[in-house]
Structure 1
């Protein structure tokens, strides 16, 4: 899926969403919450993440915020793997 397809899907399926662009990255914000995006598209490595290796042609990372009740059944066992650290105190 392309970045444009994701942007189109979100804007057509969610009401009152603003899409902000900064440095080639995209931030999807509800109009009533303009401080914290519910989704982001990151298009390149930055000071916070070089591990993703996003500087490759056509690479990007889609981040979608979900609550604890959604996350745990899907990914809860992931935190039991060596080297993966969870911070459940931040999930609420």
Structure 2
């Protein structure tokens, strides 16, 4: 069972029993703030350049995808959660630059 971690823009950010953060919650909060798009989902982040190498270094338990149920989503250790937040911001800046 997950526990409440923090609230950003009325979005609850959860941790699982292993202390991993729900990247889907981070995405939901970023979208609510207008700082991310639907195309910046956690699944796309995991496919982005260099992330598989980071996961390999951190270990296979550093990220877990849960399909279905109350705790569905992508759960990741703090290092990956911070990297995801950085990726969201960087990608948003790039998108804005392309639009202008």
Determine if the TM-score, normalized by the shorter chain, exceeds 0.5.
Answer: no
Q: Which has the higher contact order (CA 8 A, sep 6+)?
A: 2
Q: TM-score range by the shorter chain?
A: 0.3 to 0.5
Instruction: Using structure 2 for the length normalisation, give the TM-score.
Output: 0.32
Instruction: Using structure 1 for the length normalisation, give the TM-score.
Output: 0.34
Computing the radius of gyration over CA atoms, which structure comes out larger, 1 or 2? Answer: 1
